[in-house]
Amino acid sequence: MTLKSKVVIGSLWSFIGNVSFQLSGLVIFIILSRILSPVDFGTAALAIVFVELTNTITRYGLVEVVVRNKNNLNLENSVFFSTILIGIVSASFFIIASPYLEVLFEAPGLAISLQLLSIVPVMQALSTVPEGLLKRDFKFKALAIRLLFSSLFSGGIAIYLAYASYGFYSLIIQKIISVLLSLLLVWKAINWRPNLNLTLGELLNTLKQGQPILLSSLIGQSIFRFVELIIGFFLGVVALGYFKIAGKLLDVIVQFTIRPIVDVSFSAFANLQDNANELEACYTRFISITALFSLPIFVGGFVIGDEIVYLVFGDKWAESGVIFSISCLSGFSASLNYFFAPLCHSTHDSHIPFRLRIVEFIVVIALVSIFSQYSIYHVAYSNVVTATILSLGILLILKKKFFFSIDTIIKALLPSIVSSLIMGGILYIVLHLFLTDITSALKVTLSVLIGCSIYFIVYKMFFPERVLEILNNLKNLKG
């Protein structure tokens, strides 16, 4: 099978997996949000923030190391035992430190939540090698099944527990069951098994390979997780609950329109790392395809985000609607930003996103710490500003380091940007002039229909050559 076929099939299965996972997860999330309170969501979110940060350390960037190194059984064995050791240390940390963290954040229930979640880093460590092997071989079907099944089963358990008045514990148990099922399914999908033939030198060399990727990923995770920690510390768990609801909706957009292709992009870039022209063409295609679908959704979210949240989650989450609308402004940077790290990791330039992430981390923490003194809305605006600054930095690096043409990149994104902005402007006028005295359900339905129609008409009217190009690509894929 050619690389192109592998990318297409891999993207398709990644898309199916992410769509199924997000749809089922969204339905489960909506049900839980109508049962549980903002305090429950905020408390569980605060505990899971710590666990997600630790999981990044546990995996140590070694999934990507497995992907880019073929037929190296010693390396895979070293990755397995390295992550296990780190996972055990991480679990021990949570057991010991959880009471002190509960006191620090003044969040009752945080200690027991962290102690229950202490098993998660160990399970994440056990899944590192299998996940890397499946991604390296483009076996995204197994990963898609893993996502869907674990989401449905753990979500069902969480809903039952929520109805049984378990509060935030239902979300904690959901997380544990989801990770456990994912672990069992990925091991079932591979034939590889570890052995005890390893040396200290191999372990250290493996950790050295993963270190740049770890540092980059850790800084990236820290940006999001520390924002949540700062919100929880200064504004409280209720504000964090509102922020998490808005973040969930934003994540749904990313998972539907961007993540399926990002998941495959690293493997594609790794296969093209020695061909600069093909690498640039591949990167440009990826960002233009994702922008085609993601940008109109982000713009639509900005215009009717508050109505969507009110309709889906209920009036107790009204503040989340405003946060979501503001956060959608970062969508203009998303297509460019999400593919940059996979590009660098695939060409063994992991130090670049790491350094960029350090700058981003400093800017984000500074802005969020300042604006969290005012309101949660100011925090959302600070995130949008940071994303825009990051995009400008990425464009500069693509030109200086990879010799990519900025003009080519802008031309690739321009049709989607222009069409989305025109759509958003017309939709805003229609909503405020003609759709004021109708129900939220009808308003959202009409907005989606009108927005899609306007976007399609504008795109075809102003960029007919691009429409023909997309249709030809679809015909080639079908052939």
Contact 334, 292 (CB under 8 A): no
Q: What local confidence, expressed as pLDDT, does residue 477 receive?
A: 44
Task: Report CA 139 to chain centroid distance, whole Å.
Answer: 20
Residue 109 has pLDDT above 60, yes or no: yes
Contact 226, 307 (CB under 8 A): no
Other Cβ atoms within 10 Å of 370 Cβ, number? 12
Give the confidence band of 205 by pLDDT, cuts at 50, 70, 90. Answer: confident
How long, in residues, is the chain? 479
Residue 473 has pLDDT above 70, yes or no: no
Q: pLDDT per residue over 221-264, tens digit each?
A: 777 778 888 888 888 888 888 998 898 889 888 877 887 778 77
Q: What local confidence, expressed as pLDDT, does residue 476 receive?
A: 53
The sign one gets for the Cα dihedral 58, 61, 63, 66 is negative
Three-state helix/strand/coil letters over 358-373:
HHHHHHHHHHHHHHCC
Contact 23, 147 (CB under 8 A): no
pTM as predicted: 0.74
From the number of C-beta atoms within 10 Å of its C-beta (0-12, 13-18, 19+), residue 1 rates as exposed
The CA distance from 259 to 359, in Å, is 24
Name the residue with tokens 């429950």: 40
The sign one gets for the Cα dihedral 452, 456, 462, 463 is positive
From the number of C-beta atoms within 10 Å of its C-beta (0-12, 13-18, 19+), residue 275 rates as exposed
Q: What local confidence, expressed as pLDDT, does residue 328 receive?
A: 95
Residues 457-470: what's their mean pLDDT? 85
Weakest-pLDDT range from 6-10, 123-127, 161-165, 303-307: 6-10
The CA distance from 238 to 37, in Å, is 9
Q: What local confidence, expressed as pLDDT, does residue 107 receive?
A: 81
Q: Which helix (H) or strand (E) holds 262?
A: helix 259-271
Q: In terms of C-beta distances under 8 Å and separation of at least 24 residues, what long-range contacts does 377-383 make, across chains too?
A: 377/322, 377/323, 377/326, 379/227, 379/231, 379/235, 379/243, 380/243, 380/246, 380/323, 380/326, 380/327, 381/326, 383/227, 383/327, 383/330
Residue 457 has pLDDT above 90, yes or no: yes
The CA distance from 388 to 383, in Å, is 9
Residue 429 has pLDDT above 90, yes or no: yes
The whole-chain average pLDDT of the chain stands at 84
Cα–Cα–Cα angle for 456, 461, 464, rounded to 5 degrees: 95
Give the confidence band of 414 by pLDDT, cuts at 50, 70, 90. Answer: very high
Structure tokens belonging to residue 346: 């695939």
The CA distance from 76 to 134, in Å, is 13
Residues 191-211: what's their mean pLDDT? 74
Other Cβ atoms within 10 Å of 358 Cβ, number? 14
The CA distance from 164 to 98, in Å, is 26
DSSP state string for 432-465 = HHHSSSS-HHHHHHHHHHHHHHHHHHHHHHH-HH
For residues 460 and 106, the model is more confident at: 460
Q: pLDDT per residue over 286-317, tens digit each?
A: 898 889 989 999 999 999 998 988 888 888 88
Pick from 62, 45, 416: nearest CA to 245:
45
Count of helices and strands (H, E) across the chain: 21, 0
Contact 436, 311 (CB under 8 A): no
Span between the terminal Cα atoms of the chain, in Å: 14
The CA distance from 384 to 333, in Å, is 9
Buried-state track 131-169, b at ≥16 Cβ within 10 A, e below 16:
bbbbbbebbbbbbbbbbbbbbbbbbebbbebbeeebbbb
Residue 82 has pLDDT above 90, yes or no: no
The CA distances from residue 176 to 28, 107, 155, 301, in Å, are: 16, 20, 11, 31
Give the confidence band of 450 by pLDDT, cuts at 50, 70, 90. Answer: very high
For residues 72 and 121, the model is more confident at: 121
The CA distance from 413 to 285, in Å, is 10
Pick from 336, 346, 331: nearest CA to 397:
336
For residues 471 and 397, the model is more confident at: 397
Give the confidence band of 14 by pLDDT, cuts at 50, 70, 90. Answer: low
Q: What local confidence, expressed as pLDDT, does residue 10 receive?
A: 63
- Helix intervals (H) in 164-199: 169-188
Pick from 330, 241, 262, 316: nearest CA to 49:
241
Structure tokens belonging to residue 292: 């085609």
Q: pLDDT per residue over 141-159, tens digit each?
A: 667 777 778 888 988 999 9
Q: pLDDT per residue over 30-55, tens digit each?
A: 888 888 888 888 888 888 888 888 88
The sign one gets for the Cα dihedral 132, 133, 136, 138 is negative
Give the confidence band of 11 by pLDDT, cuts at 50, 70, 90. Answer: low
